[in-house]
């Protein structure tokens, strides 16, 4: 979508104007052969070599270079139809003014403030489950990577160290740096992110974590397939529900962006229907996958 959206921004203000018989332009009359055609704009081909040259000269990805070439060609052809193009400087000025005007109009029409109260209420109802946040717990643990009795005893000794320590994190940091202890057993100290009861981790660890009555080290070690864990509950984040007032600002921003995108998609579909841009899909795919090109676009779909 990226290249096509750029082309849209550059051409939409003119797309519906002066649709009479176009003047014959030098570019439209160009009948030269182009190898590895990537796209055709108003009948004029853009080749892979042009895209590569623009990538190298401007330091762009293949997708962005193709988009820029399409932008320029559409602008020049529309300007020629209007009899506006007299020099490359004029072309560049037209491009800058048209893009700026298009962005300005779309942003002014779709601000966060333009989102209606009904849109906000409908969006809140649609995403109500996302605004209900389950209880989460953060933890850290020191794991003895040995599941036998020797591993259990060593993990218990480490847990006692943690329980007695004035600053338990110092115990954590010592084992994190060492990676083992005097017994020669492999030891791993690890911080875990916030987890809910639905988290996809081994049940013994999760059950012990959510059975704890409060923050701090657990009363006993826990065994999983990894070995024995000395676990500390670092933080308990209670269940909560965010109200419409809580999420209004972020919802307005998200919905205004959605509305801007919807407007762009509408214009893009209009361009496609008018046949202003026609992509050679096979060549685009080959171009974007060429090994020697710098920073290839992440998705060939952006150039379709």
Pair (107, 254) in one structural domain: yes
Pair (74, 12) in one structural domain: yes
Residues with Cβ within 8 Å of residue 269, at least 6 apart in sequence: none
Least confident of 127-131, 132-136, 169-173, 275-279: 275-279
Whether the per-residue pLDDT at 11 is higher than 60: the answer is no
191, 209, 238 - which closes a domain: 238
Q: Tell me the pLDDT band of 94, cut-offs 50, 70 and 90.
A: low
pLDDT cut 70: percent of the chain above it: 64
Whether the per-residue pLDDT at 45 is higher than 80: the answer is yes
pTM for the model: 0.45
- Tally of structural domains, the chain: 2
In a domain, residue 122? The reply is no
For the segment 166-175, the average pLDDT, to the nearest whole number, is: 94
Pair (227, 257) in one structural domain: no
Pair (102, 202) in one structural domain: no
Between CA 228 and CA 199 the distance in angstroms is 20
pLDDT cut 90: percent of the chain above it: 34
Residue 155 Ramachandran class (φ > 0 left, ψ -120 to 50 alpha, else beta): alpha
The pLDDT value recorded for residue 173 is 93
In a domain, residue 127? The reply is no
Pair (217, 257) in one structural domain: no
In a domain, residue 124? The reply is no
The pLDDT value recorded for residue 8 is 38
Count of C-beta atoms within a 10 Å radius of residue 141: 29
The pLDDT value recorded for residue 210 is 96
Helices and strands (DSSP H and E) totals, the chain: 11, 10
Q: Return the DSSP state at 301.
A: G
Pair (234, 258) in one structural domain: no
217, 238, 259 - which closes a domain: 238
The pLDDT value recorded for residue 80 is 67
Count of C-beta atoms within a 10 Å radius of residue 254: 15
In a domain, residue 128? The reply is no
Q: What is the mean pLDDT of the chain?
A: 76
In a domain, residue 101? The reply is yes
pLDDT in tens, 205-222: 999 999 999 999 999 999
More confident residue, 263 or 300: 263
The pLDDT value recorded for residue 121 is 92
More confident residue, 56 or 1: 56
**209 exposed, middle or buried (CB, 10 Å; 0-12, 13-18, 19+)?**
buried
Whether the per-residue pLDDT at 82 is higher than 80: the answer is no
The pLDDT value recorded for residue 269 is 67
Residues with Cβ within 8 Å of residue 259, at least 6 apart in sequence: 110, 114, 115
238, 271, 293 - which closes a domain: 238
Pair (177, 227) in one structural domain: yes
Domain that holds residue 197: 135-238
pLDDT in tens, 184-201: 789 999 999 999 999 999
For the segment 33-45, the average pLDDT, to the nearest whole number, is: 78
User: First vs last Cα of the chain: how many Å apart?
Assistant: 7
The pLDDT value recorded for residue 132 is 82
């Amino acid at each position: 979508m990226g290249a096509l959206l750029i082309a849209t921004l550059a051409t939409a203000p003119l797309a519906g104007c002066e649709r009479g018989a176009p003047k014959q332009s030098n570019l439209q009359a160009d009948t030269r052969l182009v190898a590895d055609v990537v796209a055709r704009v108003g009948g004029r081909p853009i080749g892979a070599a042009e895209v590569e040259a623009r990538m190298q000269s401007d330091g762009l990805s293949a997708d962005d270079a193709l988009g820029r070439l399409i932008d320029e060609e559409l602008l020049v052809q529309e300007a020629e139809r209007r009899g506006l193009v007299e020099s490359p400087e004029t072309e560049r000025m037209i491009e800058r003014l048209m893009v700026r005007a298009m962005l300005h109009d779309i942003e002014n029409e779709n601000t966060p403030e333009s989102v209606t109260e009904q849109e906000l209420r409908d969006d809140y109802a649609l995403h109500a489950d996302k605004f209900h946040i389950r209880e989460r717990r953060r933890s850290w643990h020191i794991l003895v990577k040995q599941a036998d009795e020797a591993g259990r005893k060593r993990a218990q000794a480490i847990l006692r160290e943690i329980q007695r320590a004035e600053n338990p994190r110092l115990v954590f940091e010592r084992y994190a740096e060492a990676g083992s202890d005097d017994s020669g057993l492999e030891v791993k100290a690890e911080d875990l992110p916030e987890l809910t009861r639905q988290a996809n981790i081994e049940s013994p660890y999760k059950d012990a974590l959510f059975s704890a009555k409060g923050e701090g080290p657990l009363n006993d070690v826990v065994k999983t397939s990894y070995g024995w864990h000395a676990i500390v509950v670092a933080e308990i984040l209670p269940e909560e529900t965010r109200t419409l007032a809580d999420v209004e600002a972020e919802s307005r921003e998200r919905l205004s962006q959605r509305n801007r995108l919807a407007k762009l998609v509408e214009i893009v579909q209009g361009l496609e229907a008018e046949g202003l841009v026609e992509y050679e899909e096979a060549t685009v795919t080959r171009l974007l996958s060429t090994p020697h090109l710098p920073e290839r676009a992440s998705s060939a779909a952006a150039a379709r």
